[in-house]
């Protein structure tokens, strides 16, 4: 009976974290910060994951980490840096509709709701692209749409891992470890360590690590557990509320100033996602 609550809590966590990530990205290179995110999550999860180790479905978890967290999240961070969380979050969540469209490619019948949802998403993204007080948003939106396309593949790997009987902690730990390894190699090869920010105090690092842990550890555990309990469709519907909540919280906290146009675009996209998955 508590299954939906887990997805809703994950949505709340994922609504807050992008807002603060934009501030962190003013100091960190996007690849360096994503490496910090995933390596932190892997360290936090290491002991419980190894204690409760379950190797079932880990090949899918490895693929999900490399695809979703290393590649997709890096593009999402770039989008946040370019356009802000209140724009990047609604656009990246178009991956929910993309998942539905993948089914069409595989031969499934197209529900009329999906056609309507697709039109709503296009309208929402178009509205968001026209905001910003004259500041170009095209690059950031391209990053977000690309991240959404990559997330589409990654979510299927999570479903496959849970269907194979993989343990919750093992799946999340493996995803973060795979991403941290891939990003760590890129971090060293590209010599990004030379750009690591200096002058960040212990208290600031504590805040950064706490937000990372809530995002990639608590949020991910709740989401994967929700998928295993109530299925991917309902879990995705509930977590799809997070981009609209991001806009509301960003405005309320004074971190960003989404316009009425931005809220309209966000509402259109979130409504389209719920429509696509619910029907």
The answer for residues whose C-beta is within 8 angstroms of residue 78's C-beta and 6 or more apart is 30, 140, 143
Half-sphere exposure of 112 (CA within 13 A, CB side): 0
Q: pLDDT in tens for each of the 279 residues of the chain?
A: 566 888 889 999 999 999 999 999 999 999 999 999 999 999 999 998 888 888 888 899 999 999 999 999 999 999 999 999 999 999 998 888 887 776 666 555 656 777 788 888 888 888 888 765 556 688 899 999 999 999 888 877 887 888 888 888 888 899 999 999 999 999 999 988 888 988 888 999 999 999 999 998 999 889 878 877 887 777 877 888 899 999 999 999 889 988 888 999 999 888 888 887 776
- What is the tally of structural domains in the chain? 1
Nearest to 150 by CA among 47, 87, 215, 79: 79
In whole angstroms, give the CA distance from residue 17 to residue 19: 5
Nearest to 57 by CA among 136, 186, 169, 182: 169
User: What does R_g of the chain's alpha carbons equal in angstroms?
Assistant: 18
- Inter-residue contact 34 to 261 (CB < 8 Å): no
The answer for residues whose C-beta is within 8 angstroms of residue 60's C-beta and 6 or more apart is 157, 158, 160, 161, 164, 166
In whole angstroms, give the CA distance from residue 10 to residue 4: 10
- Inter-residue contact 229 to 252 (CB < 8 Å): no
SS3 255: coil
Nearest to 19 by CA among 59, 97, 61, 77: 77
Give the structural domain span for 253.
3-278
pLDDT of residue 24: 93
């Amino acid at each position: 009976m508590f299954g939906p609550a887990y997805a809703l809590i994950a949505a709340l966590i994922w609504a807050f974290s992008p807002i603060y990530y934009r501030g962190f990205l003013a100091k960190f290179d996007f690849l360096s910060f994503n490496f910090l995110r995933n390596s932190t999550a892997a360290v936090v999860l290491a002991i419980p994951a190894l204690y409760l180790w379950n190797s079932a479905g880990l090949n899918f978890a490895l693929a999900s980490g490399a695809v979703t967290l290393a590649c997709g999240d890096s593009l999402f961070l770039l989008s946040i840096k370019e356009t802000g969380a209140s724009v990047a979050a609604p656009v990246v969540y178009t991956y929910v509709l993309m998942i539905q469209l993948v089914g069409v490619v595989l031969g499934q019948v197209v529900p009329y709701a999906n056609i309507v949802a697709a039109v709503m998403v296009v309208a929402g993204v178009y509205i968001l692209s026209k905001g910003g007080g004259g500041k170009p948003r095209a690059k950031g939106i391209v990053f977000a749409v690309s991240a959404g396309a990559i997330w589409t593949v990654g979510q299927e790997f999570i479903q496959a891992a849970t269907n194979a009987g993989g343990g919750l902690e093992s799946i999340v730990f493996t995803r973060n470890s795979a991403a941290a390894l891939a990003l760590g190699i890129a971090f060293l090869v590209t010599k990004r360590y030379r750009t690591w920010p200096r002058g960040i105090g212990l208290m600031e690092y504590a805040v950064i690590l706490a937000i990372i842990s809530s995002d990639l550890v608590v949020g991910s555990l709740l989401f994967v557990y929700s998928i295993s309990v109530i299925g991917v469709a309902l879990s995705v519907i509930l977590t799809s509320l997070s981009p609209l909540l991001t806009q509301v919280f960003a405005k309320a906290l004074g971190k960003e100033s989404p316009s009425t146009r931005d809220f309209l675009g966000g509402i259109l996209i979130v409504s389209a996602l719920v429509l696509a998955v619910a029907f």
